[in-house]
Amino acid sequence: MHLPAELAARLATEAARREITVDELLAELVAAELGADEDPLEAFIASGASGRGDLGRQHRSVKADLTKDVTARDL
């Protein structure tokens, strides 16, 4: 992975402040962003701008409503 020098320096400074490695800090930051138990695909699904304010939270029920009368053959 290639990071801009300024960002790499900021990561190194924060890791040193916490007395952990940069790798540990990156793992912590990624886990916090994606959610420890969250599927990365689920996080991606909720990241778009659909114009619907509830789609990120309600994507399963919206999908179910939109496909309730649709069979696999229709897709």
pTM beyond 0.75: the answer is no
Give the separation between CA 26 and CA 73, rounded to whole angstroms: 44
Q: pLDDT (tens digit, 9 = 90+) per residue, 21-69?
A: 998 888 888 877 776 565 666 666 655 566 666 666 776 777 777 777 7
For the chain, the structural domain boundaries read 1-37, 38-75
The number of beta carbons lying within 10 Å of the beta carbon of residue 14 is 13
Q: Which two tokens stand for residue 60?
A: 């399963």
pLDDT attached to residue 66: 74
Quick check: 30 and 40 in contact, CB under 8 A?
A: no
Q: How many CB atoms lie within 10 A of CB 58?
A: 14
What is the model's pLDDT at position 44? 63
Tokens of 3: 């990071």
Taking alpha carbons only, the member of 67, 65, 60 closest to residue 45 is 60
